[in-house]
Amino acid sequence: MGLLLLIVVVTVPAWLFNQWLLRRLRPRESFRKFLLYLAISLLTAFIYTFIFVWLIGRYLPARPH
Q: Quote the strand ranges of 8-62, DSSP E.
A: none
Give the pLDDT score at 4. 86
How far is residue 53 from each of residues 27, 30, 37, measured CA to CA in Å? 29, 34, 24
Give the pLDDT score at 60. 76
Give the pLDDT score at 57. 85
User: Could you say which residues of the chain have pLDDT below 50?
Assistant: none
Domain ranges of the chain: 2-58
Alpha carbons 41 and 65: distance in angstroms, whole number: 38
Prediction pTM value: 0.78
Give the pLDDT score at 10. 81
